[in-house]
Amino acid sequence: MIDIQFLTVVILISVGISTLVFKKNIIKIVMGIEIISSSINLFLISLGYREGSVAPIFTNAPSVKMVLPTPQALTLTNIVIDLAITALMLSLAVLIYNYYGTLSMKKWRLVERCS
């Protein structure tokens, strides 16, 4: 039986990829990349889940089953990297808008061909 969180990951990745392929606005493309990144975070957290376990913090009970801490660390790292990438993509979008006067990839390519 498939878990609902893995099905959600597949749906979110397919929505993000379809946004990348079919949308021509740079801001919408950035949003598609963010959707894909969020689905990757959900996938990493879902990998580390164990039924009936507790958070991996210091406890005095060594026999308690804990969730895997590595996917949580990878998710935190991915969030920080994603923040930097998003800032870079949005700053490039602002520069493109200031230079070409549009955020549409279609119009941007037309302006580039005419000049």
Tens digits of residue pLDDT in 18-69: 999 999 899 999 999 999 999 999 999 888 877 777 777 766 656 677 777 7
Q: Give the per-residue pLDDT at 76.
A: 92
Q: Give the per-residue pLDDT at 100.
A: 84
Q: Give the per-residue pLDDT at 42.
A: 92
- Cβ 37 vs Cβ 4: under 8 Å: no
Question: For 11-18, what is the mean pLDDT?
Answer: 96
Structural domains in the chain, CATH included, are: 4-46+67-114 (1.10.287.3510)
Question: For 87-115, what is the mean pLDDT?
Answer: 82
Spatial neighbors of 97 by CB under 8 A, at least 6 apart, are 103
Four-CA torsion 34, 93, 20, 15, nearest 10 degrees: 30
Q: Cα angle vertex 5, ends 38, 53, to 5°?
A: 105
**pLDDT over 60 at 102, yes or no:** yes
Q: Give the per-residue pLDDT at 67.
A: 76
Q: Give the per-residue pLDDT at 28.
A: 94
Q: How far apart are CA 104 and CA 29, in angstroms?
A: 10
Q: Give the per-residue pLDDT at 22.
A: 93
Q: What percent of the chain has pLDDT over 70?
A: 85
Q: Which tokens in the block code for residue 110? A: 């037309």
Q: How far apart are CA 96 and CA 82, in angstroms?
A: 21
Q: Which tokens in the block code for residue 44? A: 């990493």
